[in-house]
Amino acid sequence: GEGLPRPDETRVMVVANQKGGVGKTTTTVNLAASLALHGARVLVIDLDPQGNASTALGIDHHAEVPSIYNVLVDGKPLSDVVQPVRDVEGLFCAPATIDLAGAEIELVSLVARESRLQKAIVAYEQPLDYIFIDCPPSLGLLTVNALVAGAEVVIPIQCEYYALEGLGQLLRNVELVRGHLNPELHVSTILLTMYDGRTRLASQVAEEVRGHFGKEVLRTNIPRSVRISEAPSYGQTVLTYDPGSSGSLSYLEAAREIALRGAGKQQGQHTVEGTQ
C-alpha cells in the first residue's frame, strides 16, 4: 500500500445509522481494509452485539473471547482484546461477543457510562491512523459511547425508498452529544451504498441526499454487488475476497476520498426536513 496521506492524529470514525441493513458493517470493514491496504494502521471496534464486523474480519468472537464488552463493562484495557486481522497487515479488530447485548442495560448504572469507550481509546497506546466504530442499529448507550469517543460520524445511506427516514433523529443525537459531551463531533462523511445506477429510484434518492447534505457526500457510490455480500461468509472483506471486483474498487476509491479529505474539519448544522 502507498500513495495516500496519513493523518497527523488518529481519526476516530463512528459508522452510524439506526436503521439496520443499510451497510454500516459492510462499510466499516471494507473502508478499514482499504485504508490498511493503502498502508494505514487501522482498528475496527465492533460495537454491535451481533458481532457481524468481527465475523466479516475472520475474528474469533465466541462467548469466552475477551471483547469490547469487557472493555466497556469491566474496564479491561483495549489492548487486552484487540486481535490482528489475518491477511491484511495493519488491520486490527476489537471483537464483539453476544454478552454485549446486555451492556446496554448494564452500562446504565456504571460511572461515566457515556464515556467508557472514549477513556479506553485514549488509554490505548498502539499508534493508529484510523479507528472505525461499527454501531448497532439503535441510538442507545452503545451508540452514545461511540459518539462520545469519535470525532467524525460516517453515515451509510441505502439508496432506497425512505432512505432519509429516521436520519433526523440520528442528526439530533449528534447535535446533543456535540453540545453536551463532545464538541469535536460532526458528520464528516455520507456514503451511498447498494447503489443501482440503472434504477430511477436510486438516482433520485442519491440526488435528494446530495441536496440535503452537499459536500459531506462522497463522490463515490458503492454499487450493489454480490461479491460484497458473499465476502463475510468467508471471513473476508471484499478487498481480499475479490480484489478486482467493482465492489472492491469502489471501497478503495471511497477510502481514498476519505484519506484525501484529511480530518474533514468542515462543520455544519444538518437538518433533514420532513423526514423525521
Contact call for residue 27 and Mg ion (CB under 5 A): no
Shortest Å distance, C-beta 36 to Mg ion? 19
How many residues lie near Mg ion (CB under 5 A)?
Answer: 3
Look-up of cell digits 425512505 = 162
Residues 38-77 close enough to bind Mg ion by CB under 5 A: 52
Contact call for residue 236 and ligand ADP (CB under 6 A): no
Contact call for residue 21 and ligand ADP (CB under 6 A): yes
| The one among 32, 194, 205, 254 contacting ligand ADP by CB under 6 A | 194
Distance CA 186, CA 178 (A): 8
Pairing of strands 83-84, 91-94: antiparallel
| The one among 13, 15, 18, 24 contacting Mg ion by CB under 5 A | 24
Buried b (16+ CB within 10 A) or exposed e, 198-234: eeeebeebbebbeebbeebbbebbbbbbebbeebbee
| The one among 26, 34, 118, 236 contacting ligand ADP by CB under 6 A | 26
Shortest Å distance, C-beta 52 to Mg ion? 5
- CA R_g for the chain: 17
- 24 vs 61, which CB is nearer to Mg ion? 24
Shortest Å distance, C-beta 247 to ligand ADP? 6
Q: Which residues does residue 193 pair with via DSSP β-bridges, in sequence order?
A: 158
Q: What is the dihedral of CA 102, 113, 55, 93, to 10 degrees?
A: -150
Shortest Å distance, C-beta 26 to ligand ADP? 3
**What does residue 253 show for φ and ψ, rounded to 5 degrees?**
-70, -40
Binding string to ligand ADP for residues 126 to 145, with x set by CB under 6 A, is what?
A: -----------x--------
Q: Are 95 and 59 in contact (CB under 8 A)?
A: yes
Look-up of cell digits 490482528 = 84
Residues at the contact surface with Mg ion, assessed by CB under 5 A: 24-25, 52
Residues at the contact surface with ligand ADP, assessed by CB under 6 A: 20-26, 52, 137, 193-194, 222, 224-225, 228-229, 232, 247
